[in-house]
Amino acid sequence: QLSLFRFTVKRPFSTSHSSVDSKEMKKFQLLAHKWWDEEGEYAALHSMNDIRVPFIRDTLLSMSSNYHLGNPLSGIKILDVGCGGGLLSEPLGRLGASVTGIDPVEDNIRTADRHKSFDPVLAKRIQYKSSSLEEIVEESMETFDVIVASEVVEHVADLETFIKCCSQVLKPEGSLFITTINKTQLSYVLGIVVAEKIMGIVPEGTHEWEKFVPPEELERLLESNGFSVKSMKGMLYNPLSGSWSWVESTSLNYAVHAVKAGAPAQSHATDTLPETDVQQRSATAGTA
Amino acid sequence: DVVVSGGGMVGSAMAAVLGHDIHFHDKKIALLEAGPRKEYDHMPDSYSNRVSSISPGSATLLSSCGAWDHVCSLRLKPFRRMQVWDACSEAMIVFEKDDLDDMGYIVENDVIMSALTKQLDAVADRVEVFYSSKAVGYTWPLPSHGCDTSPWVQVELADGRRLQTKLLIGADGHNSMVRKEAEIKNIEHQYDQSAVVATLHLSEATDNNVAWQRFLPTGPIALLPLSDTASSLVWSTSHDHASELLTMDEESFVDSINSAFWSNINHSDFIDTAGAMFRSAISLLKPSGTAVRQLPPSVAKVDAESRAMFPLGLGHATEYVQHRVALIGDAAHRVHPLAGQGVNLGFGDIACLAHHLSAAAFNGSDLGSLKHLLKFETERQRHNVSLIAATDVLKRLYSTTLAPLVLLRTWGLQATNALPPVKVRI
């Protein structure tokens, strides 16, 4: 019975790909060389940069007081989880950040590495690794200022584990940016039927509606794992213009900015202070 | 990050504007100029014969990179009024600003270059100017995204050096090598006209804040103010007449100019009567009528050695952009000087392209990406095509003495002169 129990408990430090779904990996393997064709299968992701990069950039700038508009993200360490071919890592690198991009599909990392190699500035600023999030946790505890998980959480096998790992590699008060798809009737009709089967905006079979994440669920998981959700915005893709825009409704695509709670050591100090105070006073009282 | 090919007014301004853009602070820009570096420290007392009419919009652009201050401290002549009239009739149109603002400025091209060179020196850490460097070859990135060759543009210079860049901006004039090598089709047409330029001295000192242009059947003659006593000549006429003007003695040259502005030899009674009728009709409808006709100054002397001529033509590139390539200035479009818009269109291109590149840089985008380059192309083609077409139509309309066309343009000009909204748009 003990052994049965062991198998069912999820171990966050397991070396197995517990948040990576192998079926998902196979899907992306087939398209590994298509990443950088701006008009190809990944066109919608390329144009998503037009709103997700300014969102990340402006949020980080508003939280910082010391930056230069010519190099706005300079000095910031970012982890791009599920970086794919590096579509989001590269603009962040160009804005000055030191980016580590990880993706479980080796072909994606190969494509990303080759693409950045032609740019001497990016070649130094971005490091790619073929790996799952869990695999880097041990060597990267509280290493990153920012984690970006864009269009990833709807592909992971275990969202809570994923979020816990994010928390572990993120510095206290670090930022987590997530963009993903809501699980609604609308997202089934537009996100799967229209986008995949009818209009071919997204390669067929990319998404499974079952794995879409409602924002309330995401918020709940974040808040119960040490994050504070700062903003949540809806995103809408216009297939005619090929461009994204921000909208009120989160019923289709949406973006989240959450911040990891501050260093626990601080709260400890305030708790014990009154105690030592009392002890000292009684001590001095004793001697007096 | 960016290579600008061509160090003329437009190329230098493009490099200077990007160099002063805050989002380009950490970027590397190269400006390629085939000629040697010129020293502009001391402006000669005499005026240069190549001048440009700078619109207020262009002045704003030059201000944005700090060059306009230098221009003002060197020399320029603001003008408040433009009078344009026909040689074949009394028709006239006057452009004037109601407020006391300047309509535009006449500035020597050398003055603009001096100002831009200073501002390029000021950002030498970001902008490297390669003088005496001619590009001899370009290697374009292959469209396929999976191959192992560099996805950037390779530029080979005459001295064997190689540059690679994310974006090549062609500002290399109407015979643009960038445009040709990129295999961008160019619609071009050589006018059977050349422009004669010269620096003139007026008979008497005057406020000289009016730009004059008279449409002769052979082509428009324009007098652009340089100072209270000097003006610049731009006379577009047939190639033969232009050569004649260059070779004749100075006195005859001055006589030709005065005669061109004052003579009524091309008037016909028919046209004069028709024009007068139309004018009375307008004054019935619009009692305030048309503006007062002023008389242009008369010319006394021409600066020795200041006479020169150059051929005129029309040109328009079918595309302004390609992946990692953009064309600006005369490389993209070439117009007749009759509207004084040539360099202003180029400065307008710069303002638009710099705006899009700045936003792209702040978004971390690849500067050579067609996404924002196409936005620049659409905006500028929309603006430029109508102006270039209109200039061409005007040139053709005014190249004739045929009565019906003269009547048409006479009435057209008079009507336009009486309609403030249309004039403001122009």
> Domain segments of chain A: what residues?
22-260
**Cβ–Cβ < 8 Å for B201, B212:** no
User: What SS3 state is found at B398?
Assistant: coil
Q: How far apart are CA A149 and CA A61, in angstroms?
A: 19
Q: How far apart are CA B9 and CA B345, in angstroms?
A: 12
Contact A94 B23 (CB under 8 A): no
Contact A47 B371 (CB under 8 A): yes
Q: Which of A53, A70, A114 sits opposite B24 (nearest CB)?
A: A70
* Residue A69 touches chain B, beta carbons under 8 Å: yes
> The whole model's pTM is what?
0.87
Q: How far apart are CA A114 and CA A85, in angstroms?
A: 9
Please enumerate, as own/partner, the contacts of B246-250 that have beta carbons within 8 Å and a separation of 24 or more. Answer: B246/B196, B246/B307, B246/B308, B246/B309, B250/B301, B250/B302, B250/B304
Q: How far apart are CA A208 and CA A183, in angstroms?
A: 10
* Residue A70 touches chain B, beta carbons under 8 Å: yes
**If residue A152 lies in a helix (H) or strand (E), which one and from where to where?**
none
Q: Which of B22, B150, B363 sits opposite A70 (nearest CB)?
A: B22
Residue A241, exposed/middle/buried by CB under 10 A (0-12, 13-18, 19+)?
exposed
Q: Tens digits of per-residue pLDDT, B295-342?
A: 888 898 988 889 999 999 999 999 999 999 999 999 999 998 888 889
Contact A118 B370 (CB under 8 A): no
Structural domains of chain B, with CATH:
2-38+49-424 (3.50.50.60)
Arithmetic mean of pLDDT, B138-165: 83
Closest residue in A to B24 (Cα) is: A70
Contact A53 B363 (CB under 8 A): yes
Report which of A163, A72, A79, A119 is spatially closest to residue B164, judged by C-alpha positions. A119
* Residue A243 touches chain B, beta carbons under 8 Å: no
Bridge partners, residue B398, by sequence: none
**Low-confidence winner among A6-15, A171-180, B83-92, B238-247 (lowest mean pLDDT):** A6-15
Distance from CA of A45 to the nearest CA of B (A): 13
Distance from CA of B144 to the nearest CA of A (A): 8
Contact B365 A38 (CB under 8 A): no
Chain B contact residues (CB < 8 Å to A): 22-27, 145-146, 148, 150-152, 361-366, 369-371
| B186, two tokens | 């160019």
Q: Which amino acid is at A195?
A: A
Exposed e or buried b for every residue in B314-331, given b needs 16+ CB within 10 A?
A: bbbbebbbbbbbbbbbbb
A94, A95, A98: best to mutate for the B interface, most B CBs within 10 A: A94
Q: Which of A38, A95, A115 sits opposite B369 (nearest CB)?
A: A38
Q: Give the single-character DSSP code of B155.
A: E
Distance from CA of B371 to the nearest CA of A (A): 9
Q: How far apart are CA B73 and CA A84, in angstroms?
A: 55
Contact B364 A50 (CB under 8 A): no
Contact B25 A33 (CB under 8 A): no
Q: How far apart are CA B420 and CA B410, in angstroms?
A: 17
Q: How far apart are CA B6 and CA B142, in angstroms?
A: 24
Q: Which of B25, B146, B363 sits opposite A71 (nearest CB)?
A: B25
A68, A118, A125: best to mutate for the B interface, most B CBs within 10 A: A118
B25, B139, B145: best to mutate for the A interface, most A CBs within 10 A: B145
Q: Which phi and psi angles does B93 have, rounded to 5°?
A: -135, 135
Closest residue in A to B144 (Cα) is: A37
Cα distances from B202 to residues A182, A237, B226, B229, B311, in angstroms, run 77, 65, 11, 5, 26
Contact B25 A69 (CB under 8 A): yes
Contact B151 A57 (CB under 8 A): no
Locus of tokens 């989880």:
A81
Bridge partners, residue B308, by sequence: B197
Q: Which CATH architecture has domain A22-260?
A: 3-Layer(aba) Sandwich (3.40)
**Cβ–Cβ < 8 Å for B167, B367:** yes
Contact B26 A33 (CB under 8 A): no
User: What SS3 state is found at A184?
Assistant: coil
Closest residue in B to A43 (Cα) is: B371
Dihedral over Cα of B16, B34, B197, B188: its sign? negative
Q: Which amino acid is at B18?
A: L
* Residue A47 touches chain B, beta carbons under 8 Å: yes
HSE (CB half, 13 Å, CA atoms) of A195?
26
| B274, two tokens | 């028709």
Residue B422 binned pLDDT confidence (cut-offs 50, 70, 90): low
Q: Tens digits of per-residue pLDDT, B371-413?
A: 999 999 999 999 999 888 888 888 888 877 777 777 777 777 7
For residue B390, the Cα-to-chain-centroid distance in whole angstroms is 15
Residue B147 has pLDDT above 90, yes or no: no
Q: How far apart are CA B37 and CA B22, in angstroms?
A: 27
Region for residue A233 given its phi and psi (left: phi exceeds 0; alpha: psi -120 to 50; beta: otherwise): beta
Instruction: Quickly list H helices, chain A.
Output: 2-8, 22-30, 43-62, 89-94, 106-117, 120-125, 133-137, 159-169, 185-186, 215-223, 264-287
Q: How far apart are CA A261 and CA A79, in angstroms?
A: 18
Report which of B323, B337, B408, B411 is spatially closest to residue B370, judged by C-alpha positions. B323
Query: Per-residue confidence of chain A (288 residues) as pLDDT tens digits?
Result: 444 444 444 444 444 446 677 777 777 777 777 888 888 888 899 999 999 999 999 999 999 888 888 899 999 999 999 999 999 999 999 999 999 999 999 999 999 999 999 999 999 999 999 999 989 988 889 899 999 999 999 988 899 999 999 999 999 999 999 999 999 988 888 888 888 888 888 888 888 888 899 999 999 999 999 999 999 999 999 988 899 999 999 999 999 999 999 876 544 444 444 444 444 444 444 444
Distance from CA of B146 to the nearest CA of A (A): 6
Higher pLDDT, B123 or A210: B123
Q: Which of B23, B25, B152 sits opposite A118 (nearest CB)?
A: B152
**pLDDT value at residue A17:** 47
**Cβ–Cβ < 8 Å for A244, A51:** yes
Distance from CA of A1 to the nearest CA of B (A): 53
Q: How far apart are CA B373 and CA A275, in angstroms?
A: 66
Higher pLDDT, B164 or B285: B164
Q: How far apart are CA A127 and CA A116, in angstroms?
A: 9
Contact B364 A93 (CB under 8 A): yes
Chains A & B: contacts with CB separation below 8 Å: 54
Q: Which amino acid is at B302?
A: V
Locus of tokens 């700078």:
B54
**pLDDT value at residue A10:** 42
User: What SS3 state is found at A106?
Assistant: helix
Arithmetic mean of pLDDT, B207-225: 90
Contact A114 B148 (CB under 8 A): yes
**Cβ–Cβ < 8 Å for A129, A109:** yes
Closest residue in A to B372 (Cα) is: A50
Q: Which phi and psi angles does A152 have, rounded to 5°?
A: -120, -45
Q: Which of A33, A38, A92 sits opposite B364 (nearest CB)?
A: A92
Distance from CA of B356 to the nearest CA of A (A): 13
Report which of B323, B316, B297 is spatially closest to residue B391, judged by C-alpha positions. B316
Arithmetic mean of pLDDT, B358-377: 95
Locus of tokens 């292959």:
B142
Q: Which of B23, B363, B370 sits opposite A50 (nearest CB)?
A: B363
Closest residue in A to B19 (Cα) is: A70
Q: Which of A38, A91, A115 sits opposite B364 (nearest CB)?
A: A91
Distance from CA of A39 to the nearest CA of B (A): 10
Cα distances from B315 to residues A66, A180, B336, in angstroms, run 49, 49, 10
| B173, two tokens | 């004039």
Q: How far apart are CA B249 and CA B246, in angstroms?
A: 8
**pLDDT value at residue A40:** 80
* Residue A75 touches chain B, beta carbons under 8 Å: no
Chain A residues lying within 8 Å of B22, measured CB to CB: 69-70
Q: How far apart are CA B361 and CA B372, in angstroms?
A: 11
How close are the terminal C-alpha atoms of chain A, in Å? 63
Q: Tens digits of per-residue pLDDT, B15-68?
A: 999 999 999 999 999 999 999 998 877 788 889 999 999 999 999 999 999 999
Contacts of A278 (CB under 8 A, 6+ apart): none
Strand order in the sheet with B162-165: B135-139, B153-157, B162-165
Q: How far apart are CA B405 and CA B98, in angstroms?
A: 32
Q: Which amino acid is at A135?
A: E
B357, B371, B372: best to mutate for the A interface, most A CBs within 10 A: B371
**pLDDT value at residue A271:** 46
| A255, two tokens | 């973006």
Q: How far apart are CA B218 and CA B260, in angstroms?
A: 10
**Cβ–Cβ < 8 Å for B186, B315:** yes
CB interface of A with B, residues 96-155, below 8 Å: 96, 111, 114-115, 118
Chain B residues lying within 8 Å of A91, measured CB to CB: 363-365
Arithmetic mean of pLDDT, B148-157: 85
